[in-house]
Structure 1
Amino acid sequence: MDINHISLFVLIADCGSLSRTAAKSGLSQPTVSRNLKDLEELIGAPLFERLPNHLELTAMGQQLLEPARAVKSAADAFAFEAKVAAQAGLPPVRISATQSVSSFLARHAAELQQAARNNGTEVQIDPDRTALLLADRQAEIMLRLRRIPDSGAGIVRRVGSLGVGLYAAQTAGEPDHVIGLTANRPGPQPQWLDGYASSSGLPIVLRFSDYYLRHQAVNAGTGLTLLPSFCGDSDSRLRKLEGPIAELQEDIFMIVQKDKAQAASVRKVADVLAVIFATHGHELSGAAQTTQPPA
């Protein structure tokens, strides 16, 4: 006996008509009618009386309705447990990225969350820059800046660019110092900001390697600093002094491990990442100009 016929019998009893059952189940009315007829022939007795505009359970239908509900409930529980077990068996899709790119993705967590739910898996993002080289061996997807990594490591595609600008607090008046970057921060930003401080005659009194600490500091004091465009442009407490700065623009590359690229969950998450970068890339690059209130 087909469990789907039993579930449909319960739905017909609850809806009271073939048309309402068809609308609720997404099946056509002829299909509902045919499946009901098949079940009645299998049982050897009618389950419903066909009355104008509605159906009523026969004595046999009334007798079988509660057992049918129990069968349907057990089948639903089985399907749920099977789905949970399947999800538990799927490994997470791990993304290795810099702290700034990870923060950008966190702003668009809804899209990643939907991808995780659709895949029945977890998406994990590792924003720890010091662990990137170690994490490469463990991450299915890597997001890298500045240069294309060795193509032998995986399937590489450029997905966007990271813009950087110079920002100060709206209420700070004329900035009187620079909030610098530590020298061990990779990329051209530390040297560029040191050169800016030297040419402008402003002292560097604080240094932070991570942009979110510079973001906190510039809002709390009277200095100026470099921030990713998506961070500075979206903060109404800041004013942009310069940017996006062309020589600090960094390409973003997505690399999917070759031996994991065929996994459906990895492929779907990579596709969602590409859509996020394509849809919101103007925020990331700084091309979207946020109107700043006058200083």
Structure 2
Amino acid sequence: MDFKQLRAFLTVADTGNVTRAAELLNLVQPAVSRQLRLLEEDIGTELFERERHGMALTDAGKALLVYARRVMLELDRARAEIGGAVNGIGGLVTVGLLPSTCDLLSSPLVSSVAATYPGIHMRIAMGYAGTLQQWLESGDIDAALLYGVERMPTIQATPLLEEPLWIVGPASAALRRNKPVPLASLVGQPMILPSGPHGIRTLVDHACAVSNIELTIAVETNAMSIQKNLVLGGHGLTILPPIAFADDLQRKRLTAAPLSDPKITRTIVLALPANRSVGQHVRRAVELLVQCAKTAIDEGAWLEGRWLGA
């Protein structure tokens, strides 16, 4: 088994087609087929089912896919770090961001890293808190902004900021920023919420349990864009941090109000792995990420965010 074989395997797995994979790899089709055949001989089993319309992974192929991606990721990291070290700090840094923060932070972070440490190559992964936590523990990402992280031996979490959760509705709901909505007043209203164990759903369920309230869940979705679209379509109300709908609020597509009795907040933390070493290039990129978050708070771009960090 060698890296050429793994690269061919991953490209065919992604495209589902040997011809297309050969084009992407700048190889002739027989060369790609040969790499796959040698890999299957080495593994001792078929990795693809050769179907009429393409290549489908076997169970063995699906198992290898996870390990192959990790191997190639580590190789890319090594190449970037060694190559960048020639002229100073360099390497591959993969940062995980929540959907609600990705639009706000990704561009400033990339610009700041490029200007300060041109030897660092950035990758940004977007996911919900639970997914990002899994990626951080498995080594697929180097750092992340999370919330709802309990004390864990595998994660080092540093609180950065606190933000409230608001009730969000269409323009016709006429929700107002200066008129908080008691949680109990939502009883009987159709709600659009993430399914458990999504972090926001956990926070809402806990608040309901403490207040002995039961909400009517009309739709469950773990896609923030779908949450907002369903609200716009008149299917119900949702609960989100203000940063997630700031643009829609400004354009008056949605209306929103703080929740009260009880007030629900979430704390955003910087999460780093505690079970492996963190390279200097990662720490430098993370410092810039923290600065981007603080700047967003200071400039009012992070709506209703309150800075907790030093």
Q: Which band: TM-score by shorter chain?
A: 0.5 to 0.7
The residue type equivalent to 2:238 in the other structure is T
| Preserved contact between residue 148 and residue 253 of structure 1 (Cα < 8 Å) | no
Equivalences, count: 198
Residue identity over aligned pairs, in percent, reads: 14
2-structure distance, mates of 1:194, 1:211: 24
The residue type equivalent to 1:227 in the other structure is L
Task: Tell me which residue corresponds to 2:93.
Answer: 93
Tell me the SS of whatever aligns to 2:294: helix
2-structure distance, mates of 1:194, 1:214: 23
| Preserved contact between residue 165 and residue 227 of structure 1 (Cα < 8 Å) | yes
Tell me the SS of whatever aligns to 2:111: helix
Q: 1:211 aligns with which of 213, 224, 240?
A: 224
| Preserved contact between residue 172 and residue 222 of structure 1 (Cα < 8 Å) | no
Task: Tell me which residue corresponds to 2:105.
Answer: 108
2-structure distance, mates of 1:135, 1:269: 18
| Preserved contact between residue 180 and residue 190 of structure 1 (Cα < 8 Å) | no
Task: Tell me which residue corresponds to 1:182.
Answer: 195
| Preserved contact between residue 93 and residue 123 of structure 2 (Cα < 8 Å) | yes
Task: Tell me which residue corresponds to 1:286.
Answer: 304
Task: Tell me which residue corresponds to 1:226.
Answer: 239
Matches for 1:162-177 after TM superposition, within 5 Å: 162-171=163-172, 177=190
Query: In structure 2, do the counterparts of structure 1 residues 185 and 245 end up closer, same or farther at CA, with 3 Å as the change threshold?
Result: farther
Task: Tell me which residue corresponds to 1:125.
Answer: 124
| Preserved contact between residue 142 and residue 273 of structure 2 (Cα < 8 Å) | yes
The residue type equivalent to 2:106 in the other structure is A
Task: Tell me which residue corresponds to 1:277.
Answer: 293
Tell me the SS of whatever aligns to 1:286: coil
1-structure distance, mates of 2:285, 2:239: 31
Please list every run of at least 4 consecutive aligned residues from structure 1 whose deviation after the TM superposition is greater than 4 angstroms. Answer: 87-90, 172-176, 190-196, 244-247, 282-285
Query: In structure 2, do the counterparts of structure 1 residues 156 and 190 end up closer, same or farther at CA, with 3 Å as the change threshold?
Result: closer
Tell me the SS of whatever aligns to 1:234: helix
Task: Tell me which residue corresponds to 2:159.
Answer: 158
| Preserved contact between residue 193 and residue 226 of structure 1 (Cα < 8 Å) | no
1-structure distance, mates of 2:260, 2:94: 30
| Preserved contact between residue 181 and residue 189 of structure 1 (Cα < 8 Å) | no
Matches for 1:248-267 after TM superposition, within 5 Å: 248-257=264-273, 259-263=276-280, 265-267=281-283
- CA displacement at 1:166 relative to structure 2: 0.1
- The structure with more strand, counted as a fraction of residues: 2
The residue type equivalent to 1:105 in the other structure is C
1:133-175, Cα deviation, whole Å (9 max, x unpaired): 441231221322134533x546542111232100111145799
- CA displacement at 1:207 relative to structure 2: 1.9
* Structure 1: 5+ residue stretches without partners: 1-82, 289-295
Query: In structure 2, do the counterparts of structure 1 residues 254 and 96 end up closer, same or farther at CA, with 3 Å as the change threshold?
Result: same
1:47-80, Cα deviation, whole Å (9 max, x unpaired): xxxxxxxxxxxxxxxxxxxxxxxxxxxxxxxxxx
User: RMSD between aligned alpha carbons?
Assistant: 3.8
Query: In structure 2, do the counterparts of structure 1 residues 156 and 208 end up closer, same or farther at CA, with 3 Å as the change threshold?
Result: closer
| Preserved contact between residue 94 and residue 126 of structure 1 (Cα < 8 Å) | yes
2-structure distance, mates of 1:179, 1:193: 15
Query: In structure 2, do the counterparts of structure 1 residues 237 and 192 end up closer, same or farther at CA, with 3 Å as the change threshold?
Result: farther
1-structure distance, mates of 2:210, 2:273: 38
* Structure 2: 5+ residue stretches without partners: 1-79, 176-185
1-structure distance, mates of 2:282, 2:155: 13
Larger Cα-atom Rg? 1
